Structure 1
Amino acid sequence: MSSSATVTATCALAALLALASFAPAAVLALAVVLVGALVAAGWPELLDLPARRSTTALLAAVAVAAAAAAVLGVRTGRLAGTQSTGVLDALPAVAALSVLAAFVHQLLRTDGRPRLVESVTGAATGQAVVVLAAAWLAVPSTYAGPPLAPVVLAAVAAASAVCATSWPLRVAGPVGLVAGAAAGWFAGTLVVLLGGAGVLSQARWGLAGLVAGLGAGLLVAAWRAQVARLPAVHALPAALAVAAAPVALAGGGAYLVGRLVLL
């Protein structure tokens, strides 16, 4: 896949999650699982890990488990007004069990376990990505509500579009930071203009969009720096993982914005 196709996939996934954030938790969970499945499918090829099929299966299972835990938290979590306090309570347990599963996975390998350390660390890193994606399920339960997801995802899409250019990272990184911040601020302001601000002021939404945009710009630039020179970055499964990972990783940041900025 070309860089333009990869960023198009990122924008499509961002749009899907943005729309799903207004739907019931089960629908949003399916969108989150799709993002996690794309990461799982391409992660072993992207990092050139051994035991690719079983590693993909492991990551996909962790993605489903994390989403299921978050859905359970949405339905049974302790809520204070509209601010979630217990939606993600089970995610640390999922993350811990996923690390144990990574070691069990290595014990079950029958290929002589070549590149053992590389395989474990690569799988654990992928697990962290798909677990963070489950944080999107908690975003609609924050004070900001569902409109926060499109604000953050607009910033991710804008920063990804800039970082997909042929500009060197020393140029694309700062420009992507500015583009993400501008897109986040504009999207936050648009939420107010469309009547979705709730009890929160325009200034607070603008600040939240700006903070989210700066974070998205840093995230996307750092991701590009990590994967740009990997040999498999343009192979189809790996490219889909490259496209999906920033969307997944932004879930944790979006939740923090909703909890800490939009109070």
Structure 2
Amino acid sequence: MDVSTRAVITAAVAALVAVAAFLGQFPATAHLGELPVVGMALVLTLVLAIGWPVLLELPSVLGSAVVIALGGAGAVIAVTATRGQPFLRELPVVVALAVLLAFVNELARQDGRLRLVESVTGTVTGVLVATAAAGWVAAGRAPGGTSLVVCGAVALFLGSAASAVRLGGWTGAVVTSLGAVLAGGAAGAVMPSMELLPGALIGLATGILVAALHVLFDRLPALDRRLASFAVIVLPVSVSGILVYVVGRVLVG
């Protein structure tokens, strides 16, 4: 799976997040509430958990995948069950428990615990990026929640689509960021409870994120494996969840 294909699929996943946010607004699906967004967040964490240990070539693939899946799904469930702000107040507890599970996973290894530090750090990093997907649920509950989620998802969609064009270097990063800014600003201008400037700033944040992740991961040898490619595909969408929530809280309220 080449770089352009992964970028296009990432854009499609971002579009699904926007659709999930909209489902709660239609009369026919209003009874679903935030469940579509919660479901998307859970899918992101599980796909990331399956592919992350393969992407980093961790020594205990199954154990690391289980720890990341439990941490990510636990974060989404914890945020969903939280009533009243701050919506992320239980997230540190979930992350702390997942870190403990990462050490338990190392104790359970029967392979001599080779590459111990690499295994622990890789697993904990996977937990952090998986739990970030819970930010989409929190963003949906913030003031102007649906508009905030849609704005972030649309910016991520166009930023990811722009990164599919193989421009390389700073030119590619600028085009990716500019595309996300334009998309975020346009979405912010038309969505209720949003404005052009907050939308553009959300777009800038997501665009820089997509460009940075492109530089960090898209040349790893492990991407020849399908599961590793899946992790890279959903990674920008997962991490953008917490990013959109934080930026939205600062700029929208």
Q: Which residue of 2 aligns with 1:194?
A: none
Query: Whole-Å Cα distance in 2 between the matches of residues 69 and 156 of structure 1?
Result: 25
* 3-state SS in 2 of match to 1:154: helix
Q: Residue 226 of structure 1 corresponds to which residue in structure 2?
A: 216
Corresponding residue for residue 133 of structure 2: 133
2:205 corresponding residue in structure 1: 215
In structure 2, the residue matched to 1:81 is none
In structure 1, distance between residues paired with 2:207 and 2:131: 21
Structure 1 counterpart of 2:93, one-letter code: A
* TM-score with structure 2 setting the length: 0.92
Which residue of 1 is the match for residue 242 of structure 2? Answer: 252
Counterpart of 2:35 in 1: which secondary structure? helix
Give the whole-Å Cα distance in 1 for the aligned partners of 2:224 and 2:187.
31
Once the two structures are superposed, the pairs formed by residues 37-48 of structure 1 within 5 Å of their partners are: 37-48=46-57
Write the letter of the residue equivalent to 1:253: L
Q: 1:163–1:169: 8 Å Cα contact kept in structure 2?
A: no
Q: How does 1:1-263 map to 2 (within 5 A)?
A: 1-22=1-22, 23=24, 24-73=33-82, 77-78=83-84, 85-191=85-191, 197=192, 200=193, 205-263=195-253
Partner residue, 2:28: none
Code of the residue aligned with 2:74 in structure 1: it is A
Over 4 Å off, 4+ runs: none
Alpha carbons 2:3, 2:218 under 8 Å: kept: no
Give the length in aligned residue pairs.
Answer: 244
Paired residue type of 1:215? A
Q: 1:144 to 1:234 in 2, by over 3 A?
A: farther
8 A contact 1:169–1:221 mirrored in 2: no
> Distance in 2 between the 1:46 and 1:250 partners?
19
CA distance in 2, matches of 1:126, 1:185: 31
TM-superposed CA distance for 1:241, in Å, is 0.6
SS in 2 for 1:233: helix
Gaps of 5+ in 2: 25-32
> Deviation at 1:53?
1.5
Secondary structure of the structure 2 residue equivalent to 1:147: helix
Amino acid at match of 1:117: V
Deviation at 1:150, TM superposition (A): 1.4
Name the CA distance, whole Å, in 1 between partners of 2:152 and 2:12. 14
2:248 & 2:170 partners in 1: Cα distance?
30
Question: Which amino acid in structure 1 is aligned with residue 176 of structure 2?
Answer: G
Gapped regions of structure 1 (runs ≥ 5): 79-84, 192-196
Per the TM alignment, residue 12 of structure 1 is displaced from its structure 2 partner at its CA by: 2.2
Q: Secondary structure at the match of 2:221?
A: coil
| 1:218-239 Cα deviation digits (max 9, x unpaired) | 1011101110221012421111
**Is the contact between residue 155 and residue 216 of structure 1 (CA under 8 Å) also seen in structure 2?**
yes
TM-score w.r.t. the length of structure 1 is 0.88
What whole-Å deviation, never above 9, does each CA across 1:55-98 have from its counterpart, x for those lacking one?
Answer: 1111111121111101101xxx22xxxxxx23211111111111
